[in-house]
Amino acid sequence: MRLYQLAILVTMPGPIRSVTPQQTATLRAVVDTIVPADEYPSGTEAGVLDYLDGQFGGDLAGSRACYGAGLDAVDAEAGETYGTRFDLLDPVQREALLRALESGDTRTPWPFDAAVFVSTVVGHVMEGFYGDPGNGGNRDAVSWRMIGFEVGE
Amino acid sequence: MMRVDAVVIGSGAGGGVAAAVLAQAGKQVLVLERGRDLTFEQIGRDHLRNHRIARYAHRSGPDYEDSPRVIVDEAGNEQQVRAHEPGFHGNATLVGGGTRLYGAQAWRFLPADFAMAGTYGVPAGSSLADWPVGYDDLAPSYERAEWEIGVCGDHTASRRHWTRAKPYPMPPLPEGLQARALRRGADALGWDVLPVPMLINSVPYAGRAACTRCRHCVGFACPAEAKNGSHNTVLRRALATGRTRLLAEAVAERVTCDSAGRVTGVRWVDRSGARHVVEAEVVVCAAGAIETARLLQNSPTRREPQGLGNNHDQVGRHLQGHAYAWALGEMDEDVHDGLGPGVSLATLGFAHHNEGVVGGAMLADEFIPLPIAFWAWNLPPDVPRWGAGNKRYMRENYRRVMRVGGPVQEIPSPHARTRLDRHVRDRWGIPVARLSGTTHPETLRTAAYIAGRAREWLLASGARRAWTAEVPLRLYAGQHQSGTCRMGDDERTSVVDRWGRVHGHDNLYVVDASVHVTNGAVNPVLTVMALAYRAAERLCADW
């Protein structure tokens, strides 16, 4: 239930580098595939990127490089399968690609287990979306109001 | 050098009671608490760092960097784990211990809980045994705990299960939508139910307010101080005598002992790493089943080279807690009404005497789940973990999915144990706990039976579907950790006598769940409190 996967990512060897604009675009697309917009805001609209930014300066500081490498790998998969970047795919293609990676179905070399990367990112995105607003995401407690955690408020 | 009458190690359920009884009897008491003295604001309402769901380092202890543990898994692989990680088997570590944050279910053990071996026989390979005391021995202490710490409950319904002299001091909390649905199911099945007794003020009590029905109960501190724990009852009374000193961030390193076996005091470490020694007439260990065992093991003498009370290799064995068996049901109507704590209605119909299995469990509904915990734990297996379908399910069913579950009384194994690791030390250089072994496989047969009853109850209560999951064979020694200094009359098979005194040491006591021979078919904290009253009263009477 808890993030065994995180420990794997934290200890993964890899060059330290900052997240590039392309990686940010990919991350934005990944987050909104995990929590897409409907009658309620998407993950990024609810502040999940703000949550992740905060965590990259804190609990997840050691995961930042792995995120970069994983996002590059997601982009490479998109290129191999669809001939373009992940953020330029349509929502159906994005979901299909992440589902494939989640089941370990990869077409390009990965620096670590693609399925672990996807499930770890899913966990972090849900923390940002359903966690308390004090953690930087879940803007205005929008997910809590969506599900009815706070009845009558 | 400091000198007191008694040192109490740990300020949780057992330590708080012992400190109060000793101080009220005129003794000078020093309470050493490893954790910090935290305010409500410091504990916070962080949904990612709490003792219900710990995705990152705890805000309410144990501190991230203080002390790892080593866990040896079922395959023999060993791994160092930090305080918030799976496998650590931690308890909240702060002033008040787990009682500051607990769910506060206030169950007395059932009479048959004290006689598991006699009732069912001893499964091969298990260390199942009867307690040297029974329910009737503990009944007066349970009553004292209910009144002095404060329990709400239904006396009439409870009398169907226990001989009770006095009613609870407070009526049960009002029932909500979960209880309404479950009463309907129980009626249909012909099952007996009762309100869950809670260490919570349902009405103002002992100078503190009633529960405000907030949604952040278990895992968090109470904003109204309506949840009754050591910190706002017994510890406060101990301090009010003027004879108790409470030191936070004070880690007991070693119980010191003279060559005749008489305990002389405690060596402890402060936050800076400085060592101190306090001399005492009596030492009372209440650090929890893992840390109490570790402390005794870290206190070897020439007479007892494996640690105090450990010449028969019993300290640290029979480590147990509870394996939780549960089912989740998706109802046709809302059952989440936003009124905490959430847990409300129970049945004790499957705590004992179930066909074909050993023991059983109390079954009850669940505390209000935090949204992130609901996502992590409460979704049906066929719902995708992310994407549009996941979001829709969360939205449509957060208020309709209900969990029913209960603490399965473990069949203890002598191989489930905590020892000292030979290599890993904590930040003060003290050898850390090394956990290994699993519960006995019989526990899982009972768990499967109990999960089936949980599912049956949900379906009878109107669930349109219900699901459960297999309870895995592993160690269960987290918040209900117990068993490592078991109580008994024979020093070859136990660590403390029926009064909690360590065999061979007239002035060394254990008053936490370490002494539990078995851990009950219910939550254990009221039993910890009752046993601490009983032990401390006897200690004062003999002093």
- What is B178-194 written as a DSSP string? HHHHHHHHHHHHT---E
Instruction: Give chain A positions within 8 Å (CB) of B339.
Output: 151
Which positions ≥6 away from B490 have C-beta within 8 Å?
none
B535 to chain A, closest Cα gap in Å: 38
Q: Which of A3, A95, A135 sits opposite B46 (nearest CB)?
A: A135
Rounded to a whole number of angstroms, the distance from the CA of B181 to the nearest CA of chain A is 18
Q: Residues in chain B whose beta carbon is closer than 8 A to a beta carbon of chain A?
A: 44-48, 53-57, 84-86, 215, 334, 336-339, 370-372, 374-377, 385-388, 391-392, 394-395, 398-399
Of A152 and B232, which is predicted with more confidence?
A: B232
Q: How many CB atoms sit inside 10 A of residue B267's CB?
A: 16
| A56-67 pLDDT, tens digit each | 999 999 999 899
A7/B47 Cβ within 8 A: no
The minimal CB distance from B376 to the residues A1, A36, A153 is found for A1
Shortest Cα–Cα distance, B215 to chain A (Å): 8
Chain A residue numbers touching B372 (CB-CB < 8 A): 126-127, 130-131
List the single residue in B with minimal CA-CA distance to A123: B376
Chain A partners of B219 at a C-beta cutoff of 8 Å?
Answer: none
CA distance B138 to B500: 13
With a cut of 80, say whether residue A145 has pLDDT above it.
yes
Closest CA–CA distance from residue B331 to any residue of chain A (Å): 15
- CB-based contact B377 A38, cutoff 8 Å: no
Number of A to B CB contacts under 8 A, please give it. 92
Structure tokens, B344: 């409300």
Lookup: tokens for B50: 């709490």
Closest chain A residue to B80, measured at CA:
A7
Closest among B359, B515, B542 to B447, alpha carbons compared? B359
Q: Indicate the residue of A40, A95, A131 with minimum beta-carbon distance to B48.
A: A131
**Strand B251-257 versus strand B244-247 pairing type:** unpaired
Q: Say if residues B297 and B289 touch (Cβ distance below 8 Å).
A: no
- List chain B residues with CB under 8 Å of A146: 394-395
Question: Given A34, A134, A143, which is nearest B46 (Cβ)?
Answer: A134
Joined together, the tokens standing for residue A46 give 């609810």
Inter-chain CB proximity A130 and B47 less than 8 Å? yes
Q: Are B227 and B199 in contact (CB under 8 A)?
A: yes
What is the b/e burial string over B42-78, where b = at least 16 CB atoms within 10 angstroms of the residue's CB? ebbbbbbbbbbbbbbbbbbbbbeebbbbbbbeeeeee
Beta strands in chain A (DSSP E): none
Q: Measured between alpha carbons, how far is B202 from B326 in angstroms, rounded to an integer? A: 27
Taking the CA of residue A34 and the nearest CA in chain B, the distance in Å comes to 5
Kindly list the residues of chain A whose beta carbon comes within 8 Å of any beta carbon in chain B.
1-4, 7, 33-36, 38, 40, 59, 95, 98, 119, 122-123, 125-127, 130-132, 134-135, 143-144, 146-153
CB contact under 8 A, B386 and A126: yes
Q: Which of A1, A2, A40, A92 to mutate to test the interface with B (most CBs of B within 10 A)?
A: A2
Whether residue A13 is predicted with pLDDT greater than 60 in this model: the reply is no
Smallest CA–CA separation between A128 and chain B, in Å? 9
Residue B6 pairs in a beta bridge with B29, B282
Compute the average pLDDT of residues A32-48: 98
Question: Minimal Cα–Cα distance from A60 to chain B, Å?
Answer: 9
* Facing residue for A152 by CB, picked from B44, B338, B376: B338
H helix or E strand, kind and range, residue B254:
strand B251-257
- Position B436, amino acid: S
Angle at alpha carbon of residue B346, lines to B345 and B352, rounded to 5° = 175
- The verdict on whether omega for the bond into residue B62 sits within 30 degrees of 0, i.e. cis, is yes
Whole-number Cα distances in Å, B479 to A118, B283, B394, B448, B486: 31, 24, 28, 22, 17
Alpha carbons within 13 A on the beta-carbon side of A71? 23
Q: Tokens 């709400």 map to which residue? A: B152
CB contact burial B129-164 (16+ within 10 A = b; e otherwise)? bbbbeebeebbebbbbbbbbbbbbbbeebbeebbeb
Contact yes or no for A130 and B338 at CB 8 A: no
Give the residue from chain A lying closest to B377, CA to CA. A1
Cβ-Cβ contacts under 8 Å, A132 against chain B: 45-48
Concatenating the DSSP letter of every residue in B48-92 gives TBSSS-BSS--SSSS-TTT--EEEE-TTS-EEEE-TTSTT-----
Question: Is the separation of the CB atoms in B535 and B509 below 8 Å?
Answer: yes
> Which residue is closest to B397 within chain A, CA to CA?
A147
pLDDT beneath 50, residues of chain B: none
Count of all residues that appear for chain A in the document:
153
Per CB-CB distance under 8 Å, the chain B contacts of A117 are none
What is d(CA B171, CA B336) in angstroms, rounded to the nearest whole number? Answer: 22
Minimum Cα–Cα distance from A152: chain B residue: B338
Give the global pTM: 0.96
Number of H helices, E strands in chain A: 7, 0
Burial class (CB in 10 A: 0-12, 13-18, 19+), B383: middle
The answer to whether the Cβ–Cβ distance between A40 and B391 falls below 8 Å is yes
Q: pLDDT (tens digit, 9 = 90+) per residue, B5-15? A: 999 999 999 99
pLDDT of residue B74: 83
Q: Which residues of A touch B334 (CB under 8 A)?
A: 148
Which residue in A123, A134, A147 is closest to B398 by CB distance? Answer: A147
Give the per-residue pLDDT at B25: 98
CB distance A122–B54 less than 8 Å? no
- Smallest Cβ–Cβ distance between B85 and the set A2, A123, A153 belongs to A2
- Comparing alpha-carbon positions, the chain A residue that sits nearest to B391 is A35
Q: What is the pLDDT of residue A14?
A: 38
Decide: B234 and B240 in contact? Cβ < 8 Å. no
Decide if pLDDT at A18 tops 80: no
Q: Strand pairing of B345-347 and B29-32?
A: unpaired
pLDDT bracket for residue A5 (50, 70, 90): very low
The DSSP H or E segment spanning B3 is strand B2-9
